[in-house]
Structure formats: C-alpha cells, structure tokens
Structure 1
C-alpha cells in the first residue's frame, strides 16, 4: 500500500508539473523543474505531502521574473549609455569641425583685409601722384596758353626775328619811359645792342628809335635796362654830350639814317621817338 501510495503521489506530482508548464519556457526550464520536483518527492517521503511541494514550486516563480526584469533594464541602460556617448562624440566632432572652419574663415578674411588695405594704400599713393601730375599739367597748360597768346600777338604785331630774339618796331612815337612801358606790357624791354650784327639789323628800319640805354643812375655811366654796363658803342661824333650834371640828356637814341658805325645820340628822355622792343624767341 505504501508503494502504491508513493507511485500515485509521484504520478500526481508529475501530472501537476505538466499542468504548470508554460509554453514560453524552453526545454531547459522544463527539465530543471522536473528534477527539482523529484528531489522534492524524495525529500517529502514519510511526510504529508502535497501542499508543501506545491508551495515550493510556486515560490520559485517570482524570483525568476524579477531576475529577468533586472537584466532587461541593465541591457537597456547600457544601450542608452552607448547611444549617449556616441551622440557626445558626434557633437564634439561637429564642434571641432566648426572651430576649424571658423578659424580658416577668419584667417582668410584677415588675409583679404590685408590685401585690401595694401591695395587701398597703393591707390591712395597713385591718386596723390595723379593729383600732383594734374597740377603740373595745369601749370604747363597755363604756360602754353601764355606762350600761345604771345606768339599770336607776335604774329599780329609783326614781330621780327633775328638770331635768338624777336623785335617789335613801333609805328607811333612816345617818350623813353612810355616806350619802355609798352615793351614791358609785351613781356619785352627796350632793345639792347650787344654786337655789330645786331646794330646792322636795327639800322635796316629807317627811323629814329629809342634804345634801352641810359645814364640816369650815375651821370656819365651808361647802362642797359638789364643793369649791365655798356661795352659795345656806336656813338655819333661828339656824343654823348650831356655829361654835365645840369644836362637832362639821359636817354639814348639811334638815328638809322646816319652811318651804321656812328649813329647813337644822347637825348632828353621826354622827347618823342619810335621804339624797338626785344625779347627772346622762346620766352
């Protein structure tokens, strides 16, 4: 009877094991539970049975469930930490890339700024040079205009060229001082006779002319209007004859009707005579 009772209990326990087995558990879990059940049967021999074995079997389930939940949470935490670390690495790489890019852009902009400043300085220097050249050109233009007007006036007034000088022969008579003023207005002065060739040229115009010779500064010392002393002379016989202090014959004339070698006379400066102006041809 005892053996039959034990066999019946074993069968019942095995049947109970089959009843509590879950489809989702794998074969390993099944065999492990069966072994535990048989160990429990051996342990339970000679005792009143059934309820304690069932309690032991049922108490193992909550532990298994908690262990599975903790493992799942650990795996999820590790995955989350790995993802967070990867995001941090990507963010750091992005920041470094932006820094390198920004640094390159900054260097490029500084180089361009330096080039622009250098170009601006060069342009400023060129502008200053052009302004100076423009001023010089304005001066040259004014000088050319002045010469043009003079040449135009020379052509209109029929100036005569001899050697390196131009000569203007007046058509009216005036005093010595008035004659000189007329020459100065033409940017010239009363003629200065430096040599025989010039004396002969003057004598081709048959008139009485004032020349640029006077002794007003020092009586008896004749000087040309440019301040140089007289070295070439073509005085008529007995001339100059106004060397006395009381004499007013302080200006010289040339009488081209007389001998070319001897046709200068001293005369009162207030007398009316024609006059000859002289200036350099390239003046």
Structure 2
C-alpha cells in the first residue's frame, strides 16, 4: 500500500515536474518571441526616427534656401522698385510744372509749339532792341533750324527778326545761342550785303517762297519772335 502511494506520488511528481518543465519552456519560448518582437519593433522605431530626422534636415535646408532667396530678392529687387517709383514721381512733378508753365505763358499771349513757347511782337524794333525785349522776357530771338519751324514763323504774315547774325565775324553766321549756322533757308541771292551796306542781321520774310531769309541792316525796324523752352 505504501509502495503504491509512493508510486502514485512519484508519478504525480513526475507529471508535475514535466508540467513545470513545459511551462518553463513555454515561458522561455514566449520570452524569446517577445524579445524578437521587441527587437523588430525597436528596429522599426529607429528607422522611423532616422527617416524623420532626414526629413527635418531636408526641411531645414529648404527653409535656409528660401530665406536666402527672400533676402536676396529684398536686397536687389526692392531698391530697384523704389528707384523706379522715385523716378516716376520726379517725372510726374516735372510734367506738372511744365504744364503750369505753359498755361501761365499762354495766358500772357505766348504760343506753344513743338515743346517751346513763342512771343510774337505787335510793334517794330531794331534787331538789338528786339533781342533785349526777348531777354527781358526770359527768352531770346527765335532760332530756325527746321522747315517745320520756318513754316511756323511765316504763318503770322510778318517780316520778323530771327536770332541769326554775323556781327562778330563777317560771313560767319551764328545763332544767338553761339552755335554756327548749319541748316539755312536763304532767299535766292542771299546773303549779299546789298549795295555795300553792312547787313549783319537776318530777317525772315513771310513771302510764299521755299526759302525766305534775307540779310539786312541791324538798325532797321522789324517785328520779332521770342523763343524759350516750355520747361520751367
């Protein structure tokens, strides 16, 4: 009886031991699986961290490039825009002053033509006195250097003094601004110092001929035209 009991106890112990061994094996196996899973998850985590860090680096680089481009644009484009706006503002101010100047002179009887202002006299004076009158008006005797301007001065149906003379050197014709004559509209046979007279000044006749300049004595009296720029 005792042997039987001991045998049963021995078998139960053996079964228990086997169960324990199985449990321990199972635990070890699970522990190994958990460790493997943890290792896998850890590897994935590090990959995620690495990728995230890489993306942050790329984002930082892109941000730096963007900031540099912005600063470059601000340094190079903004001054150009400011300079352009300033130039436009100055041009607008000059135009306003010019228009005001034209308006004031036309109210005083001046005529506007090709960006210049002209005063046509209603009385006659010598060439020298005519020029003095123009200078007192802030102008000078008209300079005719184009066919268009020649036709403009002849429309008033007056023989007028123009700002051309050879009083300094005979035969060398100069305009009142000091420039030498290059384009001329002498009437046929002129200049000629007719009958030996000292004809050092030039008048423009209104006759309907292609060219209408005539050299004349500066002491005779004619109408005259003053000219000055329309800019203030």
Pairwise TM-score range, normalised by the shorter structure = 0.5 to 0.7
Query: RMSD value over aligned CA atoms?
Result: 5.2
CA contact (8 A) 1:215 1:222 kept: yes
Q: Does 1:140 align with 2:95?
A: no
Please give the alpha-carbon distance, in whole angstroms, between the structure 2 residues aligned to 1:144 and 1:127. 26
Residue of structure 2 equivalent to 1:46: none
Change (3 A) 1:166 1:202: farther
Per-residue Cα deviation, 1:198-254 (whole angstroms, up to 9, x for no partner): 3562628xxxx754132233035443324316643699x9588347xxxxxx65679
- Secondary structure of 2:186's counterpart equals coil
Residue of structure 2 equivalent to 1:84: 35
Residue of structure 1 equivalent to 2:49: 98
Residue of structure 2 equivalent to 1:26: 12
Change (3 A) 1:199 1:75: closer
1:145-224 matched pairs, under 5 angstroms: 145-160=96-111, 166-169=117-120, 175=129, 178-182=132-136, 185-186=138-139, 189-192=140-143, 198-199=153-154, 201=156, 203=158, 211-219=162-170, 221-224=172-175
Q: Rg: which structure is higher?
A: 1
Q: Does 1:130 align with 2:81?
A: yes
- Secondary structure of 1:266's counterpart equals coil
- Secondary structure of 1:218's counterpart equals coil
Please give the alpha-carbon distance, in whole angstroms, between the structure 2 residues aligned to 1:261 and 1:83. 118
Please give the alpha-carbon distance, in whole angstroms, between the structure 2 residues aligned to 1:179 and 1:240. 29
Structure 1 runs not aligned, ≥5 long: 1-14, 30-63, 244-249
User: Relative contact order (alpha carbons < 8 A, sep ≥ 6): 1 or 2 greater?
Assistant: 2
Change (3 A) 1:165 1:201: farther
Please give the alpha-carbon distance, in whole angstroms, between the structure 1 residues aligned to 2:95 and 2:74. 30
Please give the alpha-carbon distance, in whole angstroms, between the structure 2 residues aligned to 1:261 and 1:100. 93
CA contact (8 A) 1:211 1:252 kept: yes
Normalised by the length of structure 2, the TM-score is 0.58
CA contact (8 A) 2:101 2:231 kept: no
Residue of structure 1 equivalent to 2:186: 232
Normalised by the length of structure 1, the TM-score is 0.50
Q: How many residues are treated as equivalent by the alignment?
A: 214
Instruction: Please report how far the alpha carbon of residue 277 of structure 1 lies from its aligned counterpart in structure 2 after TM superposition.
Output: 0.8
Structure 2 runs not aligned, ≥5 long: 207-211
Q: Does 1:17 align with 2:10?
A: no
Instruction: Please report how far the alpha carbon of residue 142 of structure 1 lies from its aligned counterpart in structure 2 after TM superposition.
Output: 3.6
